Amino acid sequence: MSMQVTANQTDAGIELLPSSLVGQSLRCVRNDRVLFENLDIRLNAGEILQIDGANGSGKTSLIRILSSLAQPDEGQVCWKGKDIHAFRTDYLEDLLYVGHSNAIKVDLSLLENMFFARALSVKANEQIFEDVLHRLGLLEHADLPASNLSSGQKRKLALSRLLVCDAKLWILDEPLNSLDESSKAVVTDIIRAHIKAGGSLVLTTHEEITWDDIRINRVSL
Amino acid sequence: MQRLSSLAVFSCLLKRELLLGLRHRSELLHPLLFFLIVVTMFPLALGPEPEQLRQIAVAVIWVAAVLASSLSLDMMFRSDFEDGSLEQILLSAQPANVLVMAKVLAHWLLSGAPLIVSALTLSYFLYLPQSATVPMLATLLLGTPIFSLIGSVATALTVGLRGGGMLLALLILPLYMPLLIFAVSAVNNAVQGLSIKAELYFLSALLVLALTLTPFATTASLRIRLS
């Protein structure tokens, strides 16, 4: 279903900005239940796409489709005008995904987890791990196994990828889950800095995010 | 910003898998203990007559190795599937086939290599002639990586499935049969003083084929399971 799209315009005629994520006529069926159909989404550089919906409404399915982990039953997702499955490597170079699971190895220390997470990224920031852990309030646990962390601390460790990997598009599934108020503030600051630097973000969250100077597109399922 | 090469990422993932394996020794020991127990049961059941044990030694060691190997396959992708690491691996811009190969190599180093050492030790207790030791080593060196490579495809197809362990065994054991036939035949030929070249060539060809094709099949299977 790869539809070739020109650099700045999709076949449907939607004009694309250089870093835009466009989903057209997306349809997703799970267990004979239509989660969503005819769904169009669009995200430009410096914008946020927030996906709302009740539990089981298909938020995570949409996130997985947008991240290329799953294919839509109908429709197409393009990044910079190219189908994300046909040009997977190009897309993945620009993508950072933090899913519902933390992707943390509890038998490894925090520093080891960060080291291996950064290794998987093609573009890695030369951030010093200790600085990142200090910012997230995890420095004192740096050399301990991640099994010692609480669920909120594990979530913060998962989100440390935002700082050690370099990507234009972040896709985050419930990033603020399990975080206390001060940690939420730290993470939203990180998100804000990313958007201000011209990055894009797709996220699902039950939290209210409002910034006057940042455009937030909302999709309700 | 630094750009890591595929080889560097392969080494990193291999190191991570070995670290995790060594910190989770019990998972590694279970298939090895199973192998030791199965092989030990035959002298107990058949009696200690050297001639009888010598005749069945090769078959016993290889069948036990096949069964122990199929037990260890389950751990190849299970924890990565459960904790979300598999998503990160498949969403890495690094070639997924290379990353999958690192995991398969780690699996072989952690389960196949100890099996070879144990098999050689146990062959002594089963009165396998010394002339058969090198052929046994050669077949195990060629055969155990094939276990891991072919097994990775079946494991990828069944990871996260309820009752996946039994399904995995049913999928994988028939695929190991040609390997079993040629490996046992090679060692038996060596005992009788015959050439084992044909069998070793076949096993080598099978290893090359598995090395060439299974990384793609495993990656595709993992993508299907995660989609």
Q: Give the least confident one: A91-100, A204-213, B6-15, B33-42.
A: A204-213
DSSP annotation of B112 reads I
| Tokens describing residue A89 | 């490597």
Instruction: For residue B78, report the phi and psi dihedrals to the nearest 5 degrees.
Output: -60, -50
> Quick one: closest CA in A to B81, which residue?
A103
| pLDDT score recorded for residue B224 | 92
Closest partner residue to A108 (CB to CB) among B19, B93, B99 is B19
Is the model's pLDDT at A125 over the cut of 90? no
Residue A38's contacts (CB-CB under 8 Å, 6 or more residues apart) are A25, A26, A27
- CA A191, A217, A168 angle in degrees (round to 5)? 40
* B30: number of Cβ within 10 Å: 15
How far does A15 lie from chain B, in Å, by closest CA? Answer: 27
> Dihedral (C-alpha) B9, B13, B15, B18: value to the nearest 10 degrees?
-160
SS (H, E, C) chain A: CCCCCCCCECCCCCECCCCCEEEEEEEEEECCEEEEEEEEEEECCCEEEEEECCCCCCHHHHHHHHCCCCCCCEEEEEECCEECCCCHHHHHHHEEEECCCCCCCCCCEHHHHHHHHHHHCCEECCCCHHHHHHHCCCHHHCCCEHHHCCHHHHHHHHHCHHHHECCCEEEEECCCCCCCHHHHHHHHHHHHHHHHCCCEEEEECCCCCCCCCCEEEEEEC
Classify each residue of A65-96 as buried b or exposed e, where b means 16 or more C-beta atoms within 10 Å of its C-beta: bbbbbbbbeebbbbbbbbbbeebbeebbbbbb
Q: How far apart are the two ends of chain A, measured CA to CA in Å?
A: 24
Whose CA is closest to B223, among A70, A83, A62, A63? Answer: A70
Q: Residue A157: which residues within 8 A CB-CB, separation 6 or more? A: A102, A104, A110, A113, A114, A136, A138, A146, A149
**How far is the C-alpha of B139 from the C-alpha of A12, rounded, in Å?**
59
Q: How far apart are CA A162 and CA A138, in angstroms?
A: 15
H or E stretch at B58: helix B50-73
Residue of A nearest to B16 (CA): A116
- Shortest CA gap A122–chain B (Å): 6
**Chain A hits for B88, Cβ within 8 Å:** 97, 103, 117, 120
Backbone φ, ψ for residue A77 (5° rounding): -115, 130
Position of tokens 């030694």? B57
Q: Which of A89, A106, A120 sits opposite B89 (nearest CB)?
A: A120
What is the per-residue pLDDT for A18? 55
Interface test mutation site (partner B, options A101, A169, A172, max chain B beta carbons within 10 A):
A101
- The confidence score (pLDDT) of residue B26 equals 83
pLDDT at A10 over 50: no
CA–CA gap between residue B107 and residue B151 (Å, rounded) = 10
Residue A12 pLDDT greater than 50, yes or no: no
- Phi-psi category of A62—alpha, beta or left, where left has phi over 0 and alpha has psi -120 to 50? alpha
pLDDT score, position B163: 76
Query: Which chain A residue has the Cα nearest residue B14?
Result: A116
- The amino acid sitting at A16 is L
| Position A17 pLDDT exceeds 60 | no
Please tell me whether the overall predicted TM-score, pTM, comes out greater than 0.90 for this model: no
Position A9 scores a pLDDT of 43
- Computed over its alpha carbons, how large is the radius of gyration of chain B? 18
Asked whether the beta carbons of A117 and A160 are under 8 A apart, the reply is yes
Average pLDDT along chain A: 85
The ranges assigned to domains in chain B are: 2-226
CA distance B109 to B17: 10
CA-based nearest distance A81→chain B, Å? 18
Q: Which of B83, B93, B226 sits opposite A104 (nearest CB)?
A: B83
For A107, which of B20, B91, B99 is closest by C-beta distance?
Answer: B20
Determine the angle formed by the axes of helices B96-107 and B133-158, rounding to 10 degrees: 130
Among chain A residues, CA nearest to B80: A103
Q: Which of B16, B92, B226 sits opposite A121 (nearest CB)?
A: B92
A with B: how many residue pairs have Cβ under 8 Å apart?
88
- Residue in B closest to A60 by C-alpha: B227
- The per-residue pLDDT for B93 is 87
Token pair of B62, please? 């290889």
Closest CA to A132 of A157, A103, A96: A157
A92 vs B91: CB contact, 8 Å cut-off?
A: yes
Which of A69, A120, A168, A173 to probe by mutation at the B interface, max B CB count within 10 Å? A120
Residues of chain B with pLDDT below 50 are: none
Rounded to an integer, the average pLDDT of A155-160 is 93
- Which of B226 and A4 is assigned the larger pLDDT? B226
How many Å apart are CA A61 and CA A25, to the nearest integer? 15
The predicted pLDDT at position A8 comes to 41
Whether residues B13 and A116 touch (CB distance < 8 A) is answered with yes
- Hey, what amino acid is at B104? V
Nearest beta carbon to residue B94 from set A122, A125, A126: A122
Query: In 3-state terms, what secondary structure has residue B5?
Result: coil
Q: What is the pLDDT, as a whole number, of residue A83?
A: 93
Tokens of A113: 């987890």
Residue to substitute from A66, A122, A174, interface B, most B β-carbons within 10 A: A122
- Name the residue type at position A173: D
d(CA A100, nearest CA chain B) in Å = 8
**Highest-scoring range by mean pLDDT, A14-18, A104-108, B48-52, B127-131:** A104-108
What is the band of A123 on the pLDDT scale with cuts at 50, 70, 90?
low
B23 contacts on A by Cβ (under 8 Å): 107-108
CA dihedral B48, B50, B51, B55 (to 10 degrees): 90
Q: Which residues of A touch B25 (CB under 8 A)?
A: none
Position B59 scores a pLDDT of 93
Amino acid at the residue B56: I
Quote the pLDDT of residue A178: 85
Confidence of residue A2 (pLDDT cuts 50, 70, 90): very low
Assess contact for B54 and B16: CB atoms under 8 A. no
